[in-house]
C-alpha cells in the first residue's frame, strides 16, 4: 500500500543518515576491504540482467566500492553500511555471501526481479535495521533466522511468491516499526507472538492465504497505526482488544470471512480513525450511532456484509467523510436527511440494500459528490431536480428502484461532468428530455425497462463520447417520416465510440435505415428485439465489423438474410427468431467462424441447411426450427462437437439419422421432431450422455428403440411419439432415473412395459396408440400382461368364449336400459351426446350410489366417488340455478372431451338430463395447488414448484399451439391446477374456456376470469387470447414462488404483485420469495437466487401490459426447462 511504502522510505532515509555518521567501534572485527569488494562482484556476477548496464559499467574492481552506485560506507570508507539497488531492473538471485557484509544497516533490493529463495544466512546481519526485498519474484519460506536481526526496524517482503507460514520467531524483533509480508501466498495463522512488538506502527499481511482468527494478543500493539489484513481467509470476530488501540488510523480487513458485529462504542475507542474498510465479510448487526463520533474518518466501507437496520441519523456528523460504501447489505429504512451535511463526500454507494422512501432533497447539498449509487433498493418518488444540479457528479445510478414520474427537463443542463447515468428498471414515464445531450461527457446511458413514451430524442446523437445506450423495454416511438425509417439510429452515427446499443421492446414500428452502416466501428452489441421493426435487414450491416451480438427477434422483419452478414467476422450471437424472413439460409453465414449461437427459429426460411455449417466449430446453440426447410440434415453438422442445443423441429427435413449423431457428445438438447426423417434411430445416440431433452416425434422412424438409450443418464424428457417404431421397450431405459416426461405413444410397440426406475411414474398417456403393450401403469389403465399360452387352439377357444360373452352382455344391457328409461320417463337421463363412444358410460343412479347420495362435497360441488368397477373419480356437479351454467358445461365438455395431454385433467364421461349436469373426471388425490401453497400442513420445495409450473406451461403450450384450434383457458389460477399422487400438475376447470377459430387471434367474451389474474385487455375490453393466458400464467408464477396472492392486502394500494417482484430483481429477490425455499446451505443459496431471479424475469416477460410484447408458451416452456436443468445439474454436482 502507499502508506507502507512511504514509511519504508522514511525509515530507509533516516537509517542511511544514521549509518553515514556511525563510528567504527571494533576495528579488529571489520571485514577486509578486498573481501567486501569480492562479495559485491560475486553478487553482480550472479545477476542475469542489468537493464541499463549501470552496475556493469560502474561496479568495476579498479574503483573503490564506496563510490559504486547503490553502495554507502562508513566515514572511514572501510565498511559497507548501506546497499540500495531498488528499482534498477535487476534479474538475479540473492546470494548467501551478502551476509559477509556484517556492518550492513540497510539492505534494499526492492522493485527488481530477484528470484529463488531467501538465504538463511541473512540472519547473520545483526546490525541490519532495514530489510526491504519487496516487489520481486522470491519463493520459498521466510527463514526464521531473520529473527536474529534484533536491530530490525523495518522488514518488507511484500509482493513476492513466498509461501509457508509467518514465522513465530518474528515476534522477537522488538524494535520493529514496520512489518509488511503482503502480496504473497502465505498460509497458516497469524502468530500471537506478533503482539510482543510494542513499537510496531504498520502491520501488513494483506493478499495472502492466511486462515484462522485474528489473535487477541494484537491488542497489545499500542503504537499501531495501520492494521492491514485484507484479502485473506480470516474467520471469527474482530477481537475487542483491537478497538482499544486508540492510535489506530487505518483498519483494512476487507475480503475475509470475519463475522460478528461492531462494538457499540467504536467511535469513542478509535478517535483517530481515518480509514475503516471491513467490506466483503460476514459482519452483521447495525451501524452503532457512536461510530458517527469518528470525526477524522474519511473512508468507511462496510460493503458486502450482512448489516441490517437503518442508517443512524448521526451519520451527518462524519464531517471529514469522503467515501461511504455500504452496498450489498440488508440496510432498511430511509436515507437520513443529515447526509446532506457531509460536505466533503465524494462517493455515496448504497446499492443492493432494502432501503426505501423518497431520496431526500438534502442530498442535493453534496456539491462535491462525484458518485451517487442507490441502485437495487426500493426508493420511491421522482428523480430530484436538486440532485441534477450537483455539477461535480460523474456517476448517477438509480437502477432497480420504484422511482416514478417524469425525469426533470433540466437533465444534462447542470451536470457537465456526468459520465454515467443509470435509471433502468424503475417506473419512470414521460419523454426522455432532449436536454440530456447537454451532458456531453456521458459515456453510458441506461434508461431501459421503464415506461418512457414519445419519440426517441434525436439529440442523443450529440453525445460524442457515448459507449453504452440502453433504451429498451419502454414505450418509445419513432419520429414519423415518409420513408418509415427509424430516424434516431441515423443520428447515432455521430457517436463514434458506441459499443452497446439496446433499443428493443419499444413501439418503434419502422424500418432499419441503411445508415446503420455508419454506426461506430466499435459497436459490439446491437439488440432490437420485439419493437415492431419491418422491412429487411440492410446489406450495410456488414460494415459493423466488430459486432459480437446481433439480436432482433420477435419483429416483422421480412425479405432475406443479407449475404453481407458473413463479413461480421467477430459475431458470436445471431438471433433473428420469430420474424418473417424468407429465402434460404445463405452460405455466407459459414464465414462467421466465431459464431456460438445461431437462432433463426420461427421464420419462413426454405431450401437446404448449408453443408458448410460444419465449419462453425464454436457453435454451441443452433435453432432453425419452425421454418420450411426441405433438405437432408447435412453430415457436417454431426462434426460440431461444441453443440449444446440442436433444434430443427417443424420443418420438412428428410433422410436418415447417421451413426455420426453420436459424435455430439456435448449435446444437452436435441429436437428433430415434426420432420420427415426415416430409417432407424442409430445406436450411437447412446454416446450423448449429457443429453437432457430428446424429441424425435412426428417423423417416419422405424425399427426398434435402441438399447443404448439407457446410457443417457442425464435425460429428463424423451418424446418418440408418432413414428413407426416397433419391438419392445428396452429395459435399459429403467436406468434413466431423471426421466420425468416420456412419450412413446402412437408407434407399433408391443410387449411388456418396463416397471423399474422412472416407469413407475408414467401413466397410460405415455403409451397410447401402440399395438400390444401391456404391464402396470401408475393410473392402472394399461392392460395386464397375459400369461403365455401353450396352444393356439386354446387361444382361439378362449377368444370365441369372450366374444360370445360380450355379445350377450351387450343385449342384456340394452334391455335393462330400455326398461330403466321407461320407469324414469319423468326425468329422462342420457349420456352427454358430445361424448365420444370410447368414453365410459355412466348413469345418474350410478353417480348417486358412487357419491353416497352426493355426500361430502367441497365448496366447489365436487365429490369423490367410487364406481362399481372400483375406479375412483371426481364428480363435478353444476348448479343449474346459476346463470351461464349450461354454457360453462358445454364449454368444458367441448374442450375436455377432445384434448389429450398428460397435464390436463382427463374427462372420463359426462352425465346430464333436463335438471342435472355432471362431469366425471380423473380423481386428483392431492387436491389443488392452492391448497398445497397456503395450507400449514403441506409444503412444496423449489424443484417441486418448478416441476408443477412447467407442467402447467406444457398444458398451455398444447392448448395454444398443438391442438387443432387454439384453446384459451381464461381462468388460470392455483385453485384450477390439480395435483395427482406424484404431484404432477393437471390444469382443469375449463368452464369459461374459449376455442379460437384458426383465423382469429382473439375473441370477445363477457365472462371474466378471476380478479388479480386477468390480463388488462381481458378485463377492460373483454378480449380473450392466448396472450391473456400467458399473462395469468406470469402472475401465477410470481404467486407460486412468493406465496403472495395478487389480491393480498399488501397490494391494496398502488403497489401490485408485479411491481413488487419487478423492484426486487435481480439481487433482492431473496427478500420476496417464500421463506420455505430458503433453508439451504450458502452455496445452494447462490444457485437458488440465480434460479429465482430467472423465474421472476420470466414471470415479468409473461405479464407485460401489451399482449404483443408478451412471450408465448413455447418460449415459456423452453426457458423454464433451462432453469430446471440448471437447478437439477447443480443438485447432482
Closest by Cα among 574, 521, 567, 580 to 552: 574
Beta bridge partners of 444: 420, 468
4-to-149, 156, 163, 193, 203 alpha-carbon distances in Å: 21, 9, 21, 21, 9
Distance, in Å, from the CA atom of 89 to the CA atom of 51, rounded to the nearest integer, reads: 5
Give the count of beta carbons closer than 10 Å to the beta carbon of residue 1039.
Answer: 26
Distance, in Å, from the CA atom of 308 to the CA atom of 56, rounded to the nearest integer, reads: 62
Give the count of beta carbons closer than 10 Å to the beta carbon of residue 316.
Answer: 19
Distance, in Å, from the CA atom of 487 to the CA atom of 479, rounded to the nearest integer, reads: 7
Distance, in Å, from the CA atom of 932 to the CA atom of 618, rounded to the nearest integer, reads: 45
Phi, psi of 600 (to 5 degrees): -120, 20
Task: Work out the angle between the directed axes of helices 1026-1042 and 942-957 (0-180°, nearest 10).
Answer: 170
Phi, psi of 687 (to 5 degrees): -75, -15
DSSP assignment of 419-465, as one string? -EEE--SSEEEEPPPGGGGG-TT--EEE--SSEEEEEPPGGGGG-TT
Distance, in Å, from the CA atom of 712 to the CA atom of 706, rounded to the nearest integer, reads: 12
> CB under 8 Å to 861, separation ≥6 — which residues?
876, 877, 878, 879
- Which residue numbers are catalytic? 971
3-state secondary structure of 300: strand
For residue 287, count CB atoms less than 10 angstroms from its CB and return exposed for 0-12, middle for 13-18, buried for 19 or more.
buried
- Cis peptide bond upstream of 348, omega within 30: no
> Is the distance from CB of 231 to CB of 211 less than 8 angstroms?
no
Give the count of beta carbons closer than 10 Å to the beta carbon of residue 813.
Answer: 11
Distance, in Å, from the CA atom of 505 to the CA atom of 551, rounded to the nearest integer, reads: 12
Task: Work out the angle between the directed axes of helices 1113-1132 and 1082-1102 (0-180°, nearest 10).
Answer: 180
- DSSP one-letter code for 74: -
Closest by Cα among 362, 310, 311 to 337: 362
Q: State CA 350 to chain mean position distance.
A: 22
Closest by Cα among 1131, 1054, 1060, 1126 to 1094: 1126
> Is the distance from CB of 353 to CB of 332 less than 8 angstroms?
yes
- DSSP one-letter code for 873: E
> Is the distance from CB of 566 to CB of 592 less than 8 angstroms?
yes
Closest by Cα among 321, 195, 316, 301 to 255: 301
> CB under 8 Å to 294, separation ≥6 — which residues?
266, 267, 270, 271, 273, 276, 318
Amino acid at each position: 500500500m502507499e502508506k507502507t511504502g512511504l514509511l519504508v522510505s522514511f525509515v530507509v532515509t533516516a537509517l542511511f543518515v544514521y549509518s553515514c555518521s556511525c563510528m567504527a567501534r571494533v576495528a579488529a572485527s571489520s571485514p577486509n576491504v578486498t573481501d567486501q569488494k569480492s562479495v559485491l562482484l560475486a553478487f553482480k556476477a550472479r545477476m542475469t540482467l542489468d537493464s541499463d548496464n549501470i552496475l556493469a559499467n560502474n561496479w568495476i574492481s579498479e574503483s573503490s566500492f564506496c563510490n559504486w552506485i547503490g553502495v554507502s560506507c562508513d566515514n572511514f570508507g572501510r565498511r559497507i553500511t548501506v546497499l540500495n539497488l531498488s528499482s534498477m531492473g535487476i534479474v538475479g538471485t540473492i546470494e548467501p555471501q551478502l551476509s559477509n557484509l556484517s556492518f550492513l544497516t540497510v539492505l534494499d533490493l526492492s522493485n527488481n526481479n530477484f528470484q529463488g529463495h531467501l538465504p538463511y544466512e541473512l540472519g547473520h546481519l545483526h546490525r541490519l535495521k532495514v530489510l526491504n526485498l519487496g516487489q520481486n519474484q522470491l519463493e520459498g519460506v521466510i527463514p526464521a533466522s531473520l529473527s536474529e536481526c534484533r536491530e530490525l526496524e523495518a522488514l518488507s517482503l511484500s509482493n513476492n511468491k513466498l509461501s509457508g507460514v509467518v514465522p513465530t520467531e518474528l515476534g522477537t524483533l522488538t524494535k520493529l516499526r514496520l512489518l509488511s509480508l503482503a502480496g504473497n501466498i502465505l498460509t497458516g495463522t497469524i502468530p500471537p507472538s506478533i503482539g510482543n512488538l510494542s513499537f510496531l506502527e504498520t502491520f501488513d499481511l494483506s493478499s495472502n492465504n492466511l486462515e484462522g482468527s485474528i489473535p487477541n494478543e494484537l491488542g497489545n500493539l499500542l503504537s499501531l497505526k495501520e492494521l492491514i489484513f485484507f484479502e485473506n481467509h480470516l474467520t471469527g470476530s474482530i477481537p475487542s482488544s483491537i478497538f482499544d488501540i486508540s492510535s489506530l488510523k487505518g483498519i483494512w480487513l476487507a475480503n475475509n470471512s470475519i463475522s460478528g458485529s461492531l462494538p457499540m462504542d467504536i467511535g469513542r475507542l478509535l478517535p483517530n480513525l481515518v480509514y475503516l474498510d471491513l467490506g466483503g465479510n460476514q459482519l452483521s448487526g447495525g451501524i452503532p450511532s457512536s461510530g458517527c463520533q469518528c470525526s477524522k474518518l474519511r473512508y468507511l466501507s462496510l460493503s458486502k456484509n450482512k448489516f441490517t437496520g437503518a442508517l443512524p441519523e448521526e451519520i451527518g456528523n462524519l464531517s471529514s467523510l469522503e467515501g461511504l460504501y455500504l452496498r450489498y447489505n440488508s440496510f432498511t429504512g430511509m436515507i437520513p436527511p443529515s447526509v446532506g451535511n457531509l460536505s466533503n463526500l465524494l462517493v455515496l454507494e448504497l446499492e443492493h440494500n432494502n432501503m426505501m422512501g423518497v431520496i431526500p432533497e438534502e442530498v442535493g447539498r453534496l456539491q462535491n459528490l462525484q458518485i451517487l449509487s442507490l441502485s437495487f433498493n426500493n426508493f420511491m418518488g421522482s428523480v430530484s431536480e436538486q440532485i441534477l444540479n450537483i455539477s461535480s457528479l460523474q456517476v448517477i445510478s438509480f437502477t432497480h428502484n420504484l422511482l416514478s414520474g417524469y425525469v426533470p427537463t433540466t437533465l444534462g443542463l447542470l451536470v457537465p461532468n456526468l459520465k454515467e447515468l443509470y435509471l433502468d428498471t424503475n417506473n419512470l414515464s414521460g419523454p426522455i428530455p432532449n436536454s440530456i445531450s447537454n451532458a456531453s461527457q456521458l459515456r453510458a446511458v441506461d434508461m431501459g425497462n421503464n415506461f418512457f413514451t414519445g419519440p426517441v430524442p434525436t439529440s442523443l446523437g450529440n453525445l460524442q463520447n457515448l459507449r453504452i445506450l440502453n433504451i429498451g423495454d419502454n414505450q418509445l416511438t419513432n419520429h414519423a417520416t415518409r420513408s418509415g425509417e427509424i430516424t434516431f439510429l441515423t443520428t447515432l452515427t455521430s457517436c463514434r465510440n458506441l459499443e452497446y446499443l439496446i433499443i428493443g421492446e419499444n413501439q418503434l414500428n419502422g424500418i432499419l435505415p441503411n445508415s446503420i452502416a455508419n454506426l461506430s466501428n466499435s459497436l459490439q452489441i446491437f439488440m432490437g428485439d420485439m419493437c415492431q421493426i419491418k422491412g429487411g435487414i440492410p446489406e450495410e450491416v456488414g460494415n459493423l465489423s466488430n459486432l459480437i451480438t446481433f439480436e432482433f427477434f420477435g419483429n416483422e422483419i421480412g425479405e432475406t438474410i443479407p449475404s453481407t452478414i458473413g463479413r461480421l467476422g467477430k459475431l458470436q450471437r445471431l438471433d433473428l427468431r420469430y420474424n418473417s424472413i424468407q429465402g434460404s439460409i445463405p452460405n455466407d453465414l459459414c464465414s462467421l467462424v466465431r459464431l456460438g449461437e445461431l437462432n433463426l427459429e420461427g421464420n419462413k426460411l426454405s431450401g437446404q441447411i448449408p453443408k458448410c455449417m460444419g465449419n462453425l466449430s464454436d457453435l454451441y446453440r443452433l435453432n432453425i426450427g419452425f421454418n420450411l426447410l426441405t433438405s437432408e440434415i447435412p453430415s457436417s453438422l454431426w462434426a460440431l462437437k461444441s453443440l449444446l442445443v440442436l433444434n430443427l423441429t417443424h420443418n420438412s427435413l428428410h433422410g436418415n439419422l447417421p451413426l455420426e449423431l453420436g459424435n455430439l457428445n456435448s449435446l444437452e438438447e436435441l429436437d428433430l421432431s415434426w420432420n420427415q426423417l426415416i430409417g432407424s434411430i442409430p445406436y450411437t445416440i447412446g454416446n450423448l450422455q449429457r443429453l437432457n431433452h430428446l424429441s424425435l416425434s412426428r417423423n417416419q422412424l422405424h425399427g426398434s428403440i435402441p438399447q443404448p438409450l439407457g446410457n443417457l443418464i442425464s435425460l429428463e424428457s424423451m418424446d418418440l411419439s408418432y413414428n413407426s417404431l416397433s419391438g419392445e421397450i428396452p429395459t435399459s431405459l429403467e436406468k434413466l432415473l431423471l426421466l420425468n416426461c416420456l412419450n412413446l405413444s402412437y408407434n407399433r410397440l408391443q410387449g411388456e412395459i418396463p416397471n423399474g426406475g422412472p416407469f413407475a411414474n408414467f401413466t397410460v398417456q405415455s403409451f397410447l396408440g401402440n399395438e400390444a403393450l401391456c404391464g402396470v401403469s401408475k393410473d392402472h389403465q394399461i392392460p395386464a400382461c397375459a400369461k403365455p399360452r401353450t396352444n393356439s387352439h386354446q387361444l382361439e377357444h378362449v377368444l370365441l368364449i369372450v366374444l360370445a360373452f360380450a355379445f350377450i352382455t351387450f343385449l342384456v344391457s340394452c334391455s335393462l336400459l330400455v326398461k330403466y328409461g321407461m320407469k324414469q320417463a319423468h326425468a329422462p337421463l342420457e349420456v352427454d351426446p358430445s361424448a365420444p363412444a370410447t368414453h365410459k358410460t355412466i348413469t345418474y343412479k350410478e353417480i348417486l350410489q358412487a357419491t353416497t347420495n352426493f355426500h361430502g362435497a367441497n365448496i366447489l360441488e365436487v365429490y369423490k366417488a367410487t364406481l362399481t368397477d372400483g375406479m375412483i373419480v371426481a364428480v363435478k356437479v353444476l348448479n343449474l340455478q346459476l346463470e351461464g351454467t349450461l354454457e360453462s358445461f358445454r364449454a368444458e365438455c367441448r374442450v375436455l372431451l377432445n384434448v389429450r395431454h398428460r397435464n390436463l385433467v382427463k374427462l372420463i364421461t359426462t352425465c346430464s338430463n333436463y335438471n342435472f349436469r355432471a362431469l366425471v373426471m380423473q380423481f386428483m388425490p392431492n387436491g389443488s395447488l392452492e391448497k398445497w401453497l397456503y395450507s400449514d400442513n403441506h409444503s412444496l420445495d423449489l424443484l417441486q414448484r418448478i416441476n408443477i409450473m412447467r407442467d402447467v406451461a406444457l398444458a398451455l403450450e398444447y392448448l395454444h399451439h398443438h391442438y387443432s384450434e387454439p384453446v384459451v383457458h381464461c381462468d388460470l389460477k392455483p385453485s384450477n391446477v390439480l395435483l395427482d399422487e406424484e404431484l404432477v400438475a393437471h390444469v382443469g376447470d375449463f368452464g369459461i374456456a374459449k376455442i379460437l377459430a384458426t383465423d382469429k387471434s382473439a375473441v370477445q367474451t363477457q365472462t371474466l376470469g378471476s380478479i388479480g389474474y386477468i390480463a388488462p385487455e381481458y378485463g377492460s375490453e373483454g378480449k380473450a387470447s392466448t396472450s391473456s393466458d400467458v399473462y395469468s400464467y406470469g402472475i401465477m408464477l410470481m404467486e407460486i414462488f412468493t406465496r403472495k396472492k395478487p389480491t393480498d392486502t399488501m397490494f391494496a394500494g398502488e403497489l401490485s404483485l408485479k411491481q413488487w417482484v419487478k423492484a426486487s430483481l435481480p439481487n433482492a429477490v431473496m427478500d420476496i420469495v417464500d421463506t420455505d425455499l430458503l433453508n439451504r446451505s450458502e452455496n445452494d443459496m447462490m444457485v437458488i437466487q440465480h434460479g429465482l431471479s430467472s423465474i421472476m424475469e420470466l414471470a415479468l416477460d409473461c405479464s407485460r401490459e401489451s399482449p404483443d410484447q408478451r412471450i408465448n408458451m413455447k418460449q415459456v416452456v423452453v426457458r423454464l426447462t433451462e432453469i430446471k436443468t440448471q437447478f437439477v445439474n447443480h443438485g447432482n454436482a
